[in-house]
Amino acid sequence: DTQSTPEALAALPLRENLRGLSPYGAPQLEVPVTLNTNENTHPVPDEVVEAIAASVAEAAVTLNRYPDREFTELRKRLSEYLGHGLSETQLWAANGSNEILQQLLQAFGGPGRTVMGFPPTYSMYPLLAAGTDTGYLAGVRGENFSLSAASAARQVAEHRPNVVLLCSPNNPTGTALGLDVVEAVYEAAEAHQGMVVVDEAYAEFALAGTESALSLLTGRPRLVVTRTMSKAFALAGARLGYLAAAPEVTDALRLVRLPYHLSAVAQATANAALQHYDVLLETVEDIKRQRDRIVEGLRALGLDPAVSDSNFVFFGGLGDAHAVWQGLLDRGVLVRDVGIAHHLRVTAGTEAETTAFLDALREVMTGA
């Protein structure tokens, strides 16, 4: 047996703030219908696969050399994709938005500093805090996991965190924040020069009328908006996340990034994908339709889905949520038990996967 034991781990001189923590561990199980990690369940379209393969083949010829440390072409393409008058000096990329968030905490958090999140929110925030030795402050939400501008601003003013993480649309609840919340939090953080990060990993799936915090960047030098190609772009496997902020923020991140952190293969993949973003984003409309089908289907079963601006739906009204999770798994459908009583989270799949989920849930609920 080559597995380590808890005792062997405890005997290592691990940093105190990592002791007893569990690693990020969404199950990676082989099941017919995988709807547990909010990926885009549509395969990459053939046309984009070919473009990526050609771009990577070209990059392969010069893999003996380090890649462009400044990923210049990629930053230009990302700024063009985002619009909002952003220049390439305001863009920064890394291996997934997880690495982007880690770099932000390395630069603006650290020992003796704090980061504030508003649980339930993305489960990596406390782990990224621990990994960078940044104190994690758990803010409080209101009824139905809502977060008002007044409440968020009051909590930020009271605790004066060095970094605030606002997840919008929020994982696991799926709902986006109004820009009034971002504005109020920024104003409260400004009093002590705190950074405000809006994690918009799911922005492309937002409902009509939901606005991006990108529109607030002008005149707010400590505001950061993070995005990813893992969701709408269907490129989770490529590991490409990015942010938009004032140029001095990207300068700060150069101090903590590893040299050549973004491989030539990742850059070639992302550059090719961005040349076809219209084709890639075609899946977004279908996913939104499936998401809305899930919301309706859950309501028809008497359950209580949250408003979703994302590619997943968080729903309550279950008795024993874990038993339902297991019942779905027994029927070949993997969803996420986020550890909140009576609730589960499901990613919108393809039409067939979504139907399989709704059918399986109906069976589990009616004991069929």
Work out how close the CB of 230 gets to ligand PMP at its nearest, in angstroms, rounded to a whole number.
3
Show Cβ contacts of residue 59 under 8 Å, excluding neighbours closer than 6 positions. 264, 265, 267, 268
Work out how close the CB of 5 gets to ligand PMP at its nearest, in angstroms, rounded to a whole number.
30
Q: Binding residues for ligand PMP, how many (CB under 6 A)?
A: 13
**Is 233 or 301 the residue whose CB approaches ligand PMP more closely?**
233
**Is 97 or 283 the residue whose CB approaches ligand PMP more closely?**
97
Show Cβ contacts of residue 200 under 8 Å, excluding neighbours closer than 6 positions. 168, 169, 212, 213, 214, 225, 226, 227
Residues numbered 293 to 322 that lie near ligand PMP (CB under 6 A) are none
The per-type count for the chain, helices as H runs and strands as E runs, is 13, 12
Work out how close the CB of 300 gets to ligand PMP at its nearest, in angstroms, rounded to a whole number.
27
**Rounded (5°) CA angle 179-79-125:** 50
**Is 88 or 199 the residue whose CB approaches ligand PMP more closely?**
199
Count the neighbouring beta carbons within 10 Å of the beta carbon of residue 29: 9
**Is 97 or 162 the residue whose CB approaches ligand PMP more closely?**
97
**Is 109 or 301 the residue whose CB approaches ligand PMP more closely?**
109
Show Cβ contacts of residue 24 under 8 Å, excluding neighbours closer than 6 positions. 123, 124, 127
DSSP secondary structure, 90-156, as one string: GEEEESHHHHHHHHHHHHH--TT-EEEE-SSS-THHHHHHHHTT-EEEE----GGG---HHHHHHHH
Work out whether 38 is an interface residue with ligand PMP (CB under 6 A).
Answer: yes
DSSP secondary structure, 162-200, as one string: SEEEEESSPTTT-PPPPHHHHHHHHHHHHTTT-EEEEE-
Show Cβ contacts of residue 285 under 8 Å, excluding neighbours closer than 6 positions. none
Write the DSSP symbol of residue 87. Answer: -
Work out how close the CB of 234 gets to ligand PMP at its nearest, in angstroms, rounded to a whole number.
12
Residues numbered 161 to 190 that lie near ligand PMP (CB under 6 A) are 167, 171
**From candidates 35, 176, 201, 238, binder to ligand PMP by CB under 6 A:** 201
Work out how close the CB of 330 gets to ligand PMP at its nearest, in angstroms, rounded to a whole number.
25
Residues numbered 94 to 133 that lie near ligand PMP (CB under 6 A) are 96-98, 122
Cα–Cα nearest to 167, from 250, 246, 77, 228: 228
- β pairing state of 135-138 and 114-117: parallel
Count the neighbouring beta carbons within 10 Å of the beta carbon of residue 112: 9
Segment lying near ligand PMP (by CB under 6 A), choices 92-100, 127-135, 186-194, 273-281: 92-100
Work out how close the CB of 167 gets to ligand PMP at its nearest, in angstroms, rounded to a whole number.
5
Cα–Cα nearest to 318, from 256, 365, 368, 251: 365
**Is 138 or 157 the residue whose CB approaches ligand PMP more closely?**
138
Residue 120: is the preceding peptide bond cis (ω within 30°)? yes
Segment lying near ligand PMP (by CB under 6 A), choices 15-23, 91-99, 205-213, 293-301: 91-99
**Is 55 or 102 the residue whose CB approaches ligand PMP more closely?**
102
Residues numbered 337 to 366 that lie near ligand PMP (CB under 6 A) are none
**Is 230 or 354 the residue whose CB approaches ligand PMP more closely?**
230
**Is 96 or 119 the residue whose CB approaches ligand PMP more closely?**
96
Binding mask 228-267 for ligand PMP (x = CB under 6 A): x-x-----x----x--------------------------
Q: Which residue is nearest to ligand PMP (CB)?
A: 96
Alpha carbons within 13 angstroms on the beta-carbon side of residue 132 total: 26
**Rounded Cα–Cα distance for residues 268 and 188 (Å):** 40
**Is 122 or 315 the residue whose CB approaches ligand PMP more closely?**
122
Chain residues that interact with ligand PMP, rule: CB under 6 A: 38, 96-98, 122, 167, 171, 199, 201, 228, 230, 236, 241
